Structure 1
Amino acid sequence: MELEMGEEEKNPFVLQKEKGRRDVTSPDLDSLCSHINDKVSNIKALLQLRKIGQEASLKAVLSKILHEMFLFNDLLNQMELECHHQERKQSQLKELQELIERDYKEAEHLEANMPFHLPNAGLASAAAGLPAEKEAQGKAAEPGRPKKPGKEVKPVKEIPFLTVEEFDSVPAYMRGRLTYSQVNAVIQEINKAVASKYKIVRQSTKSMSSVVRNLYIRFQEQETKDTKGEFFIVEADIEEFTQLKADKRFHSILTILRHCQRVREIRGSRLVRYAVC
């Protein structure tokens, strides 16, 4: 029985079986003898292996080989565990290296881009009036008639910048796509508007121009009993003293500032006033 080429490729087991049949039924006596000798050799080997456990001399060797195989198997298991351990350590070291590289890049970025809103000791001292205090002490040391103490001027309040932790604590729906730097940049502009407004409020009316006088009058009209002692601005002040616009993005940032207790709203006379907390 012969198979076609396509059938041989599809069923190699049938092919091998058919080849065995052709070898057995082959008229070639040499092939037949070789086949029979191979069968006899296989049978002898099987009989020897079956009796190996019954002979005392071979039984000891077999037992030793079995023991060595168990030891070798344990050694392979230990090697496998050690390989898994080393793979885990390598993975952890790779993650640690990535973290270190990321921190290093962040440190380089921070060094190259220092935030503008970080406090400066020199400027803080100047804002606190330390030079003025020294000057006052020097003048007090000079002999002369005593001067009447002037009316104490309350320093203009400023909005403190947000910390990273505070910004991260703001709900995601409130932050939207706003970034930490954008929020603090608006805080800086609001402080600028507050300082500009109260510089005019505290200015002598005799030295005011007509434009400044109109602003002064508007500021006075916005005062109510609820704003007494408060430092506040309105949207018109933002557009007057800064480059910001009172748009949707600005109001989103004001929502964040109210949430972080940086500003609070004082409403009245159809006007929303944003007071510094």
Structure 2
Amino acid sequence: MASSDLEDLCFHINTKISTIKKTLQLRNIGQEPSLKSMLSKIGQEMVLLHDLLNKMETEVQQQEKLKALLKELQKSAEREQSEAQHLRENIPPHLPKPTQSRKDGDLYSSSLRDGLELSITGLTGKCEEQGKAGEPERAKKPTKEQRPIKEVALITAEEFESVPAYMKGRLTYDQINAVVQEMNKAVVGKYKILHQPLKSMSAPVRNLYHRFIEEETKDTKGGFFIVEADIKEFTQLKADKRFHSILNILRHCQRVREVRGSRLVRYVIC
């Protein structure tokens, strides 16, 4: 056997012996009464540190999602600003008179979109001739301007932290906002139907329309609200115990309020 092989074998055996000695020393230290309490405290601190790291990781993920959402909102705002600037810079020099019929107004708007040039004077003259032929019969009421549909705002991270622990339970920030988004689908679906003309509705949609009207009260007039039937109609959510726990949190954060009556709970958007 070469001397180098013998030296390597001796070194390996000595290393193993040294490791065994250190292990025995550490085991003996852990059994000493004076050090047991210290080791217990170190173990507790390790558990707390592990929980803190988990919370930090969750917060970082939430902030990344919020950052992505803010970027999307920024892009949307920039697009709308660009469109508004374009409209401002391209205002037509002449507009139809208020007495012009809606039909001609639609024709004028369509011609603007198509890039065609129309003579406003000719259109006005045509309206005057139509007015002479039958002013009372052709007079139309101005179209009622529709209000934008109000949706439930998402819960912020700060609001989520302020919710009492007994309300949150095991619910997470993402789970609450996922339910908010589903509720908004129900709100938008309901009020799109209410904004439609009755003549354009099918029989099932007309039945929904009449139900929506019957559910309104003096306390909900002028506002936006949904009921559990709307959630079942427009979303896949289940009105279970978890759903009602999230509704309690939304009420706590002043996102919705309840209006009860006729054995029905109405969730009014704040």
1-structure distance, mates of 2:61, 2:186? 28
2-structure distance, mates of 1:201, 1:130? 30
In the alignment, which residue of structure 1 is the partner of 2:134? none
Q: Which has the higher contact order (CA 8 A, sep 6+)?
A: 2
Change (3 A) 1:138 1:256: same
- Identify unmatched segments of 5+ residues in structure 2: 1-45, 100-141
Change (3 A) 1:152 1:161: same
Q: Secondary structure at the match of 1:274?
A: strand
Change (3 A) 1:118 1:276: same
How far did 1:146 drift?
3.0
TM normalised by structure 2 equals 0.56
Q: Secondary structure at the match of 2:171?
A: coil
Residue 111 (structure 2) pairs with residue 118 (structure 1): no
Match of 2:96 among 129, 145, 148: 145
* Contact 1:158–1:191 (8 Å) recurs in 2: yes
Match of 2:225 among 228, 232, 235: 232
Please report the RMSD computed on the Cα atoms of aligned residues, expressed in angstroms: 3.5
In the alignment, which residue of structure 2 is the partner of 1:181? 174
Which of structure 1's runs of 4+ aligned residues deviate more than 4 A?
129-140, 147-150
In the alignment, which residue of structure 1 is the partner of 2:147? 154
Match of 2:245 among 252, 262, 272: 252
2-structure distance, mates of 1:153, 1:131? 24
Q: Secondary structure at the match of 1:197?
A: helix
Match of 1:168 among 152, 157, 161: 161
In the alignment, which residue of structure 2 is the partner of 1:206? 199
2-structure distance, mates of 1:238, 1:117? 27
Change (3 A) 1:226 1:111: closer
Q: Secondary structure at the match of 1:261?
A: coil
* Contact 2:146–2:195 (8 Å) recurs in 1: no
How far did 1:260 drift?
0.7
* Contact 1:238–1:244 (8 Å) recurs in 2: yes
How far did 1:151 drift?
2.9
1-structure distance, mates of 2:179, 2:67? 12
* Contact 1:234–1:273 (8 Å) recurs in 2: yes
Q: Secondary structure at the match of 1:226?
A: coil
1-structure distance, mates of 2:243, 2:59? 31
Match of 2:254 among 251, 258, 261: 261
Change (3 A) 1:135 1:198: farther
1:1-277 superposed matches below 5 A? 106=57, 110=61, 114=65, 118-119=69-70, 120-123=73-76, 140-141=91-92, 143-147=94-98, 150-277=143-270
* Contact 2:225–2:267 (8 Å) recurs in 1: yes
How far did 1:194 drift?
0.4
TM normalised by structure 1 equals 0.55
2-structure distance, mates of 1:222, 1:108? 41
* Contact 1:117–1:161 (8 Å) recurs in 2: no
Show CA shifts across 1:13-39 (max 9, x none): xxxxxxxxxxxxxxxxxxxxxxxxxxx
- Work out the percentage of aligned pairs sharing the same amino acid: 57
How far did 1:160 drift?
1.1
How far did 1:110 drift?
3.4
Q: Secondary structure at the match of 1:227?
A: coil
How far did 1:124 drift?
5.1
Computing the radius of gyration from Cα coordinates, the structure with the larger value is: 1
Change (3 A) 1:112 1:212: same
Show CA shifts across 1:57-97 (max 9, x none): xxxxxxxxxxxxxxxxxxxxxxxxxxxxxxxxxxxxxx9xx
Matched pairs, number: 178
Q: Secondary structure at the match of 1:194?
A: helix
- Identify unmatched segments of 5+ residues in structure 1: 1-94
2-structure distance, mates of 1:276, 1:117? 25
